[in-house]
Amino acid sequence: MFSNIDEINSDRATWNFKAKVIRLWQVNDFNRTHVPFSIEMVLMDSDGAKIHATIKKTLIYKFKHDIIEGKIYSFENLGVASNTGAYRTTHHPYKLNFQFGSLVQRLSNCDISKSPFTFVPIGDILSGCYDIDFLVDVIGLLTEIGQEREITNQNGSTTKLNVISLEADGHKLQCTLFGPYVDELNTFVGAGDLNNAVVIVQLAKAKMFQEKIHIQNCLNCSVLIFNPSCEESVTFRASLNGSEETPSPLTFTQLTVESSVQPLDEFVYNTPRITLQGLRDVTSDSTYVVAATVKRILNPDSYWYTSCLCGKAAISDSRMWYCEKCNRHVPKVVPRFCVKVRVMDDTDSAIFATSLFNMSCADMIQIGETAVGERIVPPQIDDTLVDQTWLFKVEAKPSHNPRFEQSFRVRKICTNESIIKQFKEKWDNEDALNLKIANEDGSLSTLLEKAKDVYVGGSSNVLSEVKFIIY
């Protein structure tokens, strides 16, 4: 006996029903990010009713290969619990939990064709009448895109961030994207079809920030769809100006978003300083600022590579390009910088990566081929890099293979002379203070232990070398 989702309540301990898996994702352990904590899903029956279901950690092995997003199943013996919390995916008063005795069977002769979306008008969200404890589906016209930036997490790691604006019925709503959702945005922007782009954000979180309501993605849970072909998208496009053939005159513009952290604060005060030797000795993932001088380019004949729009290297295959990250052949590729340089400070060595030049890689390649031959580094790169002393904000990770030279990725570079000067003055003063304290401690030890000689060690003046990769 199968029930409808709307009938599920707490009167019975377990329930049987048929439903389509309209959303499926994995939640990782907070402390061990590579370890699954649960599998979450949203189920919808033939009437369009929805309910949330969870597979807890100890049962993932039992069900993870049996359930596929977009497929229809019969579910038996699922436990029921109250649907509470600030990130509820459905408005159903209850949610379901898989149990050891639960049964799942795929149905091939059953059709559930209802839309998986439950759109909330942007005006309703902005008015404050929508209960933000429930995740929301939004459709709108993409009108603005902000400047990508990075935020530093409490554990020292960094996360990409960007903001887009969606507009519908004269109302505009900002949506903040984090991590892989920024990569999806970049891939879409790289394709170039920005004007009159319709965007769907499924299962977004509405939040209040600086007395304004905005939405943001929920990691792994939210879905970002550009120019969807669903019926709601067709209807929305037609409503923009009366028909699909006459699109809205609204065009894409750049959204100005000021970073809350100024470069001086980011490089001098907010991010811990480290030396090149210190980078090699780190025991956990973190982010640091290091001052170093570029001495020479190590790969003058291979300073760029062919990249998919997602940023990963594309491989030539059957007269096409294949991207391992996207797991498909891609129609469009672009050149990206990959400049290896050797730098020096008074401690040790490493390898780094970042965007650096005031010119696109494609333009740089054309100049290089015209001036000095194919794939040879043009003078612009030498002039920009060599003998420059800069501040590098780098990702530091423990070394796992001592047989190979360790590498580090540069997240940002500061070339501002004033900031570099303040950085050096700050740390020179702190180093002098630390040395003074050490000398005073040594003098006290001498007085207390007259028979012992005191040796206060200083830092080496011998410059070591370090490798960087500049993307």
Pick the more confident residue, 71 or 392: 71
Q: What is the distance between the alpha carbons of residues 208 and 212, in angstroms, rounded to a whole number?
A: 5
Tens digit of each residue's pLDDT (9 = 90 or more) over 32-42? 767 889 999 99
Count the residues in the chain: 471
Tens digit of each residue's pLDDT (9 = 90 or more) over 419-446? 999 998 988 888 788 777 777 666 656 5
Domains, the chain, with CATH or none: 5-106 (2.40.50.140), 122-254 (2.40.50.140), 263-303+338-419+465-470 (2.40.50.140)
Q: What is the distance between the alpha carbons of residues 302 and 360, in angstroms, rounded to a whole number?
A: 16
Residue 178: is it exposed, middle or buried by C-beta count within 10 angstroms (0-12/13-18/19+)? middle
CB 396 within 8 A of CB 285: yes
Beta strands 320-323 and 328-330, pairing class: antiparallel
11: alpha, beta or left, given left = phi > 0 and alpha = psi -120 to 50? alpha
Please state, for a pLDDT cut of 70, what percent of the chain lies above it.
76
pTM: 0.57
- Reading the block at residue 203, the tokens are 């299962």
Average pLDDT, the chain: 80
Q: What is the distance between the alpha carbons of residues 22 and 341, in angstroms, rounded to a whole number?
A: 48
Tens digit of each residue's pLDDT (9 = 90 or more) over 137-166? 999 999 989 888 888 776 667 889 999 999
Give the pLDDT confidence score for residue 382 in this predicted structure. 61
H/E run at residue 56: strand 50-56
Residue 116 predicted with pLDDT over 90? yes
Backbone angles phi and psi of 426, in degrees to 5: -60, -50
Model confidence at 379, in pLDDT bands (50, 70, 90)?
Answer: low
C-alpha dist (Å) from residue 205 to 130, 131, 213, 224, 421 = 11, 11, 10, 13, 43
Query: What residue type is 202 in one-letter code?
Result: Q
Q: What is the distance between the alpha carbons of residues 468 and 394, in angstroms, rounded to a whole number?
A: 10
Please state, for a pLDDT cut of 90, what percent of the chain lies above it.
38
Give the pLDDT confidence score for residue 453 in this predicted structure. 46
> Which region among 35-39, 53-57, 246-250, 317-321 has the lowest average model confidence (pLDDT)?
246-250
Q: What is the distance between the alpha carbons of residues 53 and 78, in angstroms, rounded to a whole number?
A: 9
